[in-house]
Structure 1
Amino acid sequence: MYRTLLVLLVLVYGGLHVLAQSPFIHTTTHLVQPGSEPREHPVDIQRMTVDVKFDAPAGIVKGRVTHVFRTLWRRVDSIVFDAVGIEIFQATLGSRPVRFRSTDTTVVVYPEPPLRWDAEDSVSFTYQAAPRKGLYFIGWNDTTRRMRRQIWTQGQATDNRHWIPMYDDMNDKMITETIVTFDSAYAVLSNGTRVDAVVNGDGTKTWHYRMTRPHANYLLMIAVGMYDITERRAASGVPLYLYSYPDYPDRIEPTYRMSVEAMDFLERETGIPYPWESYSQVPVADYVFGAMENTTATVFGDFFHVDARGFLDRSYVGVNVHELTHQWFGDLITGRSPKSIWLQESFATFYPHLFTRETQGEDAYQWSRRGLHRSALTASEKDRFPIVHPNAGTARIYPKGAGVIDMMRYVFGEDEVRRVITHYLRRHAYGNVETNDLYLSFQDTLGITPDWFFDQWLYRGGEPHYKVSYSERARDGGNVTSVDVEQIHPVDELTGYFRMPIVVEVHYTNGSKDSERAWVDGQRTTIDVPNTKGKDIDFVLFDPGSQVMKKVTFHRKWEEKIAQLKRAPLMIDRYDALEAMRGDTSKEAERLDLLADVMKNETYHAMKTEAIQQAAAMGLPGAWKIVAMGYADKDVNVRTAALGAYGIVPAVLKDAAAALLHDSSYAIVQQACQRLCASFPAEKAIFLDAIKGERGMHERVRIARLEVPASDGDMAAYDELADLCGPSWEFMTRQNAMQAVKRTGMLTPSSAANMIDALWSTNGRLASVANGVLAALTEQPRWKSLVRTTAGGLAMKPWQRAIVDPLIR
């Protein structure tokens, strides 16, 4: 952990001057993290060839890797390669052996004589590893063979070093080749173009893949499994190879819905053709993240590999567009260091946001923007790290950065920013970038200097908080509406007063409006909106459409809120009026009528969800009717909100809730079963019979159906739950089953053994759930004793024992 220093930038020009006296320096963040600059390296790796074989049941990789390089330093007498827990058998420099030394995390080679500037040579290692990061062996410990058997990799951030001796950092890009020898019954995917696949005489096959352009080595990937492959083509002719499980052909279309459209959209929107020869996507079991944008070959968790009903609960579309965007932002151009990671993740979050407008319409686009803004504002409640900082955090490098790009288009123009991005991508193709490269692209393309924008939104932290009020006064035979804007957020060295163009709209009772776009700058700004005909004000909008990331304090009269709710042109402005009514108990009967109107007249789910939540919280006699409208809504989000509105389903809504046991959404069926059984226990058998045979994605409906009798002491149902906790199932099923077991309050040797197995999983989410469930249940002495006895009968390696022991002491 590095100590964080808050510093003022200085400019050396005839002496040192403090920031207040100096122009903005656009290459340095205001919050400095020592050691965050790109890693130094004495050689430039130009090509890496990895040749591997696997002993899957043992979790072992055996390989040979060759690094072709050019020296960057005047004298190179040692080269350090990252190698965590890798056993090196041999190292060669060119064709001759070279002295090397291994540590727990590196292997160092010592060229003799030392290499000089621009020398071209190669280093090869023959090695073996049994990694628990970077390379994952899935399903090989399932003795029942029900679990899918796979091998897959996850390199980001720096995990490929656990199975390949390599220079493992993002600031060196190279052409890679991957050669894999494995059981010929399986399919193997890696980066680039498949050169050949040779059948060997021993039941194996050797697959050879090669990139033709350089990319960062954390993007190198391998996936091995049983797959079918569907080919589609983009409008430009780019081939898309869609991998799927052979036993689930019905999941191909829902999983990969809009894949071709996304490719067409990104080629058009970026102005840059897809920069590689082909694009593959492959689902894998027990994946440790959501998805990974490996160059030409995205890996994603098979929890996104869904059927048509599962699509309603968990769609891959957004993640699909995110990872595809990375083929440009992250793969074509790659950040030079971790503080440049926003140049990858923010753009890969922004373009799915933009794709939402094209595919789902303006309301969804506004709601997506609101989500970006809320995430950023929530993060600032904890700290105010800038986006350009290695510790910025997920909320800043993903949603806040995407929101900042969205504001770039608002401030500078959509077409203008599109030209900047095209230039930026073309100029830095297949290279490394930092934030200043994007800044210079504005200058090179548009001839403008957006230093103030980059300073306040990227190199500084925080967001503006505007306090808004307005008044009317007479002027020149008419009126003027004066909108007073005060910036009330804390101001210090890290966060200043923001400068942004803000639109103010004054809407009148006759249906017309006047608007002004003005710069809000400094602590206080007044925006005058002429009202030459003296029309009566209906309501006033500050930043209609919520273009600017901000907090707003704007107290409005009840009548103004109603007018805005009923007549604001944009959904998000009507939503703000509706949300502002939340908790107002002064006019509850009138508010209830307004909520009913929302359910009848609005079409977007966010509006209806807010109405349902407010109605349920009011507790008025008739409020349930609004919730009932949600039960029958065609939007799955609204039905979900309605079903979750009450902890206990009111008797008057029992039939409506029971109808949801036949819903198209698995998640709603699961939730309906749980809510109904808890609310009307005497009728549990009826509810369970209604979903007999339903399983759902990740067995979620089946688990809900089993939990009820298991909680009542039905051991057959409990044993089925215990089995679902075991290694024959992917991690989401296992963790759902474990949570159900926890709610039963009981353990058996079988369920305990399966949870102990989960503690050792390389999937951190699964291990965390198992640890939490066991920790909760072993608070009871009898269950701790059972777990201790169960663990004592299991063969464990020292590292496994170290994980289990804290639970049974």
Structure 2
Amino acid sequence: MRKFSAALLSITLLTATAFTHKAVAQTDTAALKIYRATPTKINDLVNTKLAVSFDYKKCYLYGKEWVTLKPHFYPTDSLRLDAKGMDIKTIAVVQNGKNIPLKYAYEDSLSLNIKLNKTYLNNESYTIYIDYTSKPNQLKTKGSAAITDDKGLYFINPDGKDPNKPIQIWTQGESESSSAWFPTIDKPNQKTTEEIAMTVPAKYVTLSNGKLISQQPNANGTRTDTWKMDLPHSPYLFMMAVGDFKIYHDKWKNIPVDYYLEPKYAPYAKDIFGDTPEMIDFYSKTLGIDFPWNKYAQIVVRDYVSGAMENTTATLHGDYVQATKRELMDAYYNFGRQTIAHELFHQWFGDYVTTESWSNLTVNESFADFSETMWAEHKYGQDAGDAHFFKDMGEYLDDPKNADKDLVRFYYADKEDMFDYVTYKKGGCILNMLREYLGRDAFYKGLNIYLKTNAFKNGEAQQLRLALEEASGKDLNWFFNEWYYGSGHPLLDISYNWNEASKTETVTIKQKQMNKVFTLPMAIDIYGGGKKTRHDVWVADSVFTTSFKLPAKPDLVNVDAAKKTICIKADHKTDAEFVFQYFNAPLYADRAEAIEALSVHRDSKEAQKVLIAALKDRYYELQTTAIDALDLKNADIRNAAVPVLTQLAQSDPNTLVRAAAIKALIMLRDPGNMNLFKQAISNQSFAVEGAGLVGLASLDTDQAMTMAKTLETDAEGELITSIVTLYIAAGNDEQWPYINSHFDNLGTTDKFSLLRDYADFVAKLKNPIYAQQGIAEMKTMGIKYKTAGITEPLTKMLNDVKAHRQAMGDDATGKMIDEALKAIQ
């Protein structure tokens, strides 16, 4: 699951970073002392058959279930099923076509403890019939920063009152929420085949796992669609979706590959999801195992509570992946496309072989995260893959609390805590590091062995280790003990010394982290005399020293030359050496390190040389990094950079580079750029168009306001952000309807960077109804992001707005603010 669609908020600065997966939950000390064992298997699920219908007015599901089970090993006369917040009408055992009622206790409306009609042996199966009603909106749920709740079944705009939102139903099972809409053993180490008959209004489309085997029209204007899944998978991977979707039919070999989208976005289905068959082919060939299911569908829904979910054969995406062709011009390898790759890879790692417990979630999520790097390399080149790796590593390293957590951990306060940067980002980077150490052929052979050995079953990290050892012939206990069953990362201090008399270069690598020394297989590249020589070393001491006899002082000694080691480095190279590294070392990280190091000394001639050259780097993200690092107040940099920035702004093939160059030129406030900004506003790229509007506003606000009005109708993406930003800065009540209709749909980073100005704007609105709409939006944000730490700064903002509104005599809005303050506490 891609859970980092919520925000890891830097609340004190009111900024946010999108991340696809879960913010670290608040932990309870006592809960951390509980050993989280793999769930004991008393009974095994065999088959789950459901017949369901929906009450849109009440937001109920009416269900009938026939669940077949058998004892796992020991004889048993009882069965426990998870069933959250349901009305249970009947529980019976099916014998000779008859339902024989059984005694049961419904414990805390969470668990059914059923007394079976006899003691069953493990070679006997039995079928339980349950008639029930699921009432998800009445279920008390906790949720987390990234999963806003866990009620399992969601009715979206069921009464149709919101004209801007479709009527939909969809489900979300991970981690253990499927039991909110059907009774089951809701644990990842259970697997079952499945059949779901869904009775829905005939005008709607349905999707579920497996194959659509029948569609039966009913006399009352409904239709019953039956979906069947012949291969076993875990209950949290069950799914349903109902709504007005258009289906685009694609395929890989003879396997259907379908895309379900809202009608507005149906013309862009191929633009959004069109890489999927190529992805399936790439992953199938790389893993040596063809896509293991009978279909693959992707569906986009509204108000999804996370990023995306890898339901078996039927991935569900949040609506952030829906985009027009113009919006996709600025996407490149963006979050949506990363997620498409991520969820697809789960069909092998997570669905085909599923973690046996949440403690071992790494065998699901770390692999899906790593697959994003794999796809980026394959589709967009090595620089793209390396850039993805370094972003992941940086996001893990940015929070010191991550260093305290093992990748595999059996002690946690809540299972949701496992969905964090350690499981996703660090875990994915660990796999990349392991691939570098073993070599790609051995690494992928090991993955093949792991998947084949555990097909349609469950796996854990030790089984992964054994498979990789079988493939490579190498012992990997040391690696898994350090990186899977240990925490932290190396803090490396790297220094160099050249002895002219002995013609010896000495490299010293100190590990400065506390209480642990890592074993680090590492490459050191030495550049001199126009050539590069690689030396492989093992850094296994707190102070590691190695020396090289050379004919002359080297131009560069590049430690960790493969750039795959998860670490924080203090690398004591000179500026001249970093300049050489930028122009001569081959990797994305070599150039990124040089740009970062030299940006600190950006007034120096060496730094300026690299920063100006990097404006035309072969990888667009390093171009934008260099643009951001420029100090245009420095005359030397400005004189060298402006001609290049102007060229980039006008003609760079990458729209994000063009937009970044325009934003840099805005800082000059040069009237001579007016035509450039106006030309940008007519560009097909929303990012370029939005940057042009900001540029125009920097020179002539009134003209920009007039222009923005003409752009409102067709605006999407970055252009909407620019219009909203401009209106908040320079508008009044006239612009409020546009702000109000678009603010909530801005990207998380944009919303939080604008929130302070948004609050000030709301405070000054003359129309109390408008002000109350703004307070409602702030209240919604406060509730949604409460666990991420928004409460304190938002409380201050609301009190400031209240004081201003009361001074205006607007007591009604003041009362509404009081209600909002109570709601967000």
TM above 0.5, yes or no, is: yes
Question: Quick check: 767-776 or 143-152, which moved more?
Answer: 767-776
Deviation of 1:187 after TM superposition, in Å, equals 0.3
TM (normalized to structure 1)?
0.86
Instruction: Measure, in 1, the Cα distance between the counterparts of 2:268 and 2:104.
Output: 50
Matched, 1:550 2:563: no
Alignment of 1:152-551 (within 5 A): 152-234=170-252, 236-314=253-331, 315=334, 316-380=336-400, 383-389=403-409, 391=417, 394-473=420-499, 479-490=503-514, 492=515, 496-508=516-528, 510-531=529-550, 534-551=551-568
**Cα–Cα, structure 1 residues 542 and 703, in superposed 2: closer, same or farther, change >3 Å?**
closer
Contact 1:775–1:807 (Cα < 8 Å) also in 2: no
After superposition, residues 50-65 of structure 1 pair within 5 angstroms as 50-65=50-65
Q: Which amino acid aligns with 2:176?
A: T
Q: Within 2, Cα distance between the matches of 1:53 and 1:223?
A: 12
How far apart in 2 are the matches of 1:760 and 1:689? Answer: 27
Aligned 8 A contact 2:345 2:371 in 1: yes
Q: Does 1:101 align with 2:105?
A: yes
Shift in Å, 1:38: 1.4
Deviation at 1:565, TM superposition (A): 2.1
Q: Is the 1:240–1:280 Cα contact (8 Å) retained in structure 2? A: yes
Question: What SS does the aligned partner of 1:294 have?
Answer: coil
Unaligned runs of 5+ in 2: 1-26, 138-150
Preserved contact between residue 655 and residue 687 of structure 2 (Cα < 8 Å): no
Query: How far, CA to CA, are the matches of 1:705 and 1:682 in structure 2?
Result: 13
Higher mean alpha-carbon deviation, 141-150 vs 461-470, is at 141-150
Shift, 1:240, TM fit: 0.6
Structure 1 segment 21-32 matched on structure 2, within 5 A? none
Alignment partner, residue 48 of structure 2: 48
| 1:615 paired residue among 614, 620, 630 | 630
- In 2, Cα distance between the equivalents of 1:671 and 1:179? 50
- How much has 1:209 moved relative to structure 2? 0.6
* Counterpart AA for 1:637: L
Contact 2:83–2:183 (Cα < 8 Å) also in 1: yes
Rounded to whole Å, the distance in 1 between the matches of 2:746 and 2:513 is: 47
> What letter is aligned with 2:574?
K
**Matched residues in 2 for 1:737 and 1:556: separation?**
36
Cα distance in 2 for residues equivalent to 1:283 and 1:731 = 17
SS at match of 1:36: coil
State whether residues 740 and 773 of structure 2, in contact with CA within 8 Å, keep that contact through their aligned partners in structure 1: no
C-alpha spacing 1:410/1:721, structure 2 compared with 1 (3 Å): closer
Letter in 2 for 1:96: I
Post-superposition offset of 1:300? 0.4
C-alpha displacement of 1:574: 2.5
Counterpart of 2:8 in structure 1 is none
2: distance between equivalents of 1:733 and 1:403?
25
Residue identity opposite 1:108 in structure 2: L
d(CA) in 1 for partners of 2:29 and 2:607? 52
**One-letter identity of the residue aligned with 1:776:** M
Q: Partners of 1:40 and 1:394 in 2: how far apart?
A: 25
| 1:71–1:304 distance in 2 versus 1, CA, 3 Å | same
> Over residues 99-122 of structure 1, what are the superposed CA-to-partner deviations in whole Å (9 max), with x where a residue is unaligned?
222244424243255524324212
Corresponding letter in the other structure for 1:241: D
Q: 1:571 maps to what in 2?
A: 588
Partners of 2:632 and 2:51 lie apart in 1 by 62
Give the SS at the match of 2:291. coil
1:282 touches 1:300 (CA, 8 Å); kept in 2?
Answer: yes
Q: Map residues 775-786 of structure 1 onto 2, 5 A cutoff.
A: 776-777=797-798, 779-781=800-802
Aligned residue in 1 for 2:822 = 806
Shifted more, 767-776 versus 56-65: the winner is 767-776
- Distance of 2:818 and 2:136 partners within structure 1: 18
Residue in structure 2 matched with residue 29 of structure 1 by the alignment: none
- Stretches of structure 1 lacking an aligned partner (at least 5 in a row): 6-31, 794-800
Counterpart residue identity of residue 342, structure 2? H
2:660 equivalent in structure 1: 641
Residues 187, 791 of structure 1: alpha-carbon distance in 2 compared, 3 angstrom cutoff: farther
Contact kept in structure 2, 1:80 and 1:106, CA below 8 Å: no
Alpha-carbon separation, structure 1, partners of 2:780 and 2:65? 29
Quote how far apart the aligned CAs of 1:566 are.
Answer: 2.2
Structure 1 residue 344 displacement after superposition: 0.6
Distance in 2 (alpha carbons) for counterparts of 1:96 and 1:730 = 55
Contact 1:82–1:105 (8 Å) recurs in 2: no
- Any idea what SS the aligned residue of 1:164 has? coil
Q: Could you tell me whether the CA contact under 8 Å between 2:46 and 2:68 is conserved in 1?
A: yes
Q: Is the 8 A contact 1:182 1:206 kept in 2?
A: yes
* Superimposed CA distance per residue, residues 209-245 of structure 1 (whole angstroms, 9 cap, x where no aligned partner): 11111101001000111122222222x4322111222
- Cα gap change, 1:117/1:775 in structure 2, threshold over 3 Å: closer, same or farther? farther
Q: Which residue of 1 aligns with 2:23?
A: none
How far apart in 2 are the matches of 1:255 and 1:112?
50
Separation in 2, partners of 1:59, 1:734: 33
* 1:115 lines up with 2:122 in the alignment: no
Q: Per-residue displacement from partner, 1:515-562 (whole Å, max 9, x unpaired)?
A: 21111111122233342xx13421111122312122222212232222
Query: 1:127 — aligned with what?
Result: 132
Name the aligned partner's letter for residue 255 of structure 2: V
* Distance (Å, rounded) in 2 between the aligned partners of 1:426 and 1:206: 37
C-alpha displacement of 1:724: 5.0
Shift of 1:675: 5.6
Alpha-carbon distance in structure 1 between the residues aligned to 2:495 and 2:724: 57
Within 5 Å, give how 1:549-698 maps onto structure 2.
549-584=566-601, 587-600=603-616, 602-616=617-631, 619-620=634-635, 622-623=637-638, 625=642, 627-632=645-650, 633-645=652-664, 648=667, 650-651=669-670, 653-674=673-694, 676-677=696-697, 680-688=700-708, 691=711, 693-697=713-717
Query: How far has the Cα of 1:163 moved from its partner?
Result: 2.0
> Aligned-pair distance for 1:418?
1.0
Asked whether the equivalents of residues 55 and 61 of structure 1 are also in contact (C-alpha less than 8 Å), the reply is yes
Query: 2:536 and 2:449 mapped to 1: Cα distance?
Result: 29
Aligned length: 760
Alpha-carbon contact 1:758-1:766 (below 8 Å) kept: no
Identify if the C-alpha distance between structure 1 residues 618 and 171 changes in structure 2 by more than 3 Å, giving closer, same or farther: farther
The percentage of counterpart residues that share the same residue type is: 23
Amino acid at match of 1:135: L
Supply the distance in 2 between the matched residues of 1:417 and 1:710 (Cα, whole angstroms): 53
Determine whether 1:752 maps to 2:768.
no
Q: Which residue number in structure 2 is paired with residue 797 of structure 1? A: none
- Which secondary structure state, in structure 2, belongs to the residue aligned with residue 394 of structure 1? coil
When residues 191 and 791 of structure 1 are mapped into structure 2, their CA distance, relative to the original with a 3 A threshold, is: farther
Q: Deviations over 1:625-644 (max 9, x none)?
A: 15445433332332343345
Residues 753 and 718 (structure 1 numbering): CA distance in 2 closer, same or farther, change over 3 Å?
closer
Q: Distance in 1 between matches of 2:781 and 2:729?
A: 27
Q: Kindly tell me: are residues 162 and 457 of structure 1, through their superposed partners in 2, closer, same or farther at Cα, counting changes over 3 Å?
A: same
Moved more, 436-445 or 715-724: 715-724
Letter in 2 for 1:408: L
Amino acid paired to 1:524: V
Partner of 1:14: none
Question: What code does the residue aligned with 2:467 have?
Answer: S
Q: Which amino acid aligns with 2:382?
A: E
Q: Offset at 1:481?
A: 2.5
What whole-Å deviation, never above 9, does each CA across 1:178-205 have from its counterpart, x for those lacking one? 1100101000000011110111111100
Pairwise CA distance, 1:375: 2.3
**CA separation in 2, counterparts of 1:173 and 1:204?**
31
